[in-house]
A = this chain, B = another copy of it.
């Protein structure tokens, strides 16, 4: 199963990602202060050649709505501030605040029409483009970008590992929809982890080529804390409940058992240690900062409808692509009922996830992979 079609719910209606991504928005907010500080500290204003280049920013996995706009706004303000303070430096009078060209990237199935309408409605002070394509491959020319950003996108694998769907494999995940679901074999997690390692490597390879030497990259991603078993994470509980709803529907004959067995969710929650190791091993980026972000408020005080919608806007397209458009109303109705009676929303012991902010700088003296 190739997951090149993962995308959030489009449009701006009640079930859209644009209107149900408060959690992700808070993370962007938390990262603003540290990102501003690090841009001031790390950005070399000389990385652009003002004769032939604007300052190019890309948001990888932008989806639709306010979050990508806010993240980009934060970056541009910080970069402008840095150039303005540099303008006053009389020793380098030639460096003015550059023009900005911003690229919003997501898979080709993303709702770019709604995104463009939103961005234009805010009359941004930069040139706006959309760039469709998987960020696990090259989407930009070489040495073109000055700043890359990606928030809550690297947890989407490029594909479901094949062995998870292979009944002859020890990693076959029969009757479950994720490696974190109750009862999944260790081999399932290993297969997911292996796919994540390949994907991160591909992501860093591509960005290493696309960023200029000295270019910066900010990543926000959701992790499960070091040492926590996947089955003890809040995702595990959510996905186990979702999976049991699907199993109920299979038992009622709404879908076949085979159909259910051939479905797994393409999400992987790395641990801080795993992610840091993969970046260090890759070798093209210096880790300038690697820190835990505060827990979004919404996770602490949450109601069941909000929880269901947050899940629905990111997963619904996947269920529809596999099981057909007709099943999702019933699926999320069942999910709402089961979730409402479950302690996952209220109990602190399930708070084993945490979002991390990672700030990287493209090294200048390593060889470029793939080039």
Query: A-side interface residues toward B, CB under 8 Å?
Result: 48-49, 51-54, 99-101, 103, 108-109, 111-113, 116-117, 120, 127-133, 138-144, 212
Contacts and interface: CB of A to CB of B under 8 A. Distances in A.
Contact of A116 (B54, B120, B127, B132): B132
A99 B141 contact: yes
A139 B116 CA distance: 13
Given A99-B141, A129-B129, 8 more contacts: A49-B49, A53-B53, A53-B144, A101-B141, A112-B112, A129-B132, A130-B130, A130-B132
A337 to B, nearest CB: 35
A61 to B, nearest CB: 16
Nearest to A47: B52
A138 B100 CA distance: 13
17 contacts: A48-B52, A49-B51, A51-B143, A52-B52, A52-B143, A54-B142, A99-B141, A108-B120, A112-B116, A112-B130, A113-B113, A116-B130, A127-B141, A128-B132, A129-B130, A130-B130, A130-B131
Given A54-B141, A127-B140, A141-B54, A132 B120 contact: yes
A182 to B, nearest CB: 39
Contact of A128 (B100, B116, B128, B133): B133
Nearest to A130: B130
A128 to B, nearest CB: 7
Nearest to A118: B108
A117 B108 contact: yes
A53 B142 CA distance: 8
Contact of A142 (B99, B129, B133): B99
Contacts of A103: 129
A138 B126 CA distance: 11
Contacts of A131: 127-130
A120 B133 contact: yes
A111 B111 CA distance: 10
A101 B111 CA distance: 21
A95 to B, nearest CB: 15
A11 to B, nearest CB: 11
A54 B103 CA distance: 15
A278 to B, nearest CB: 26
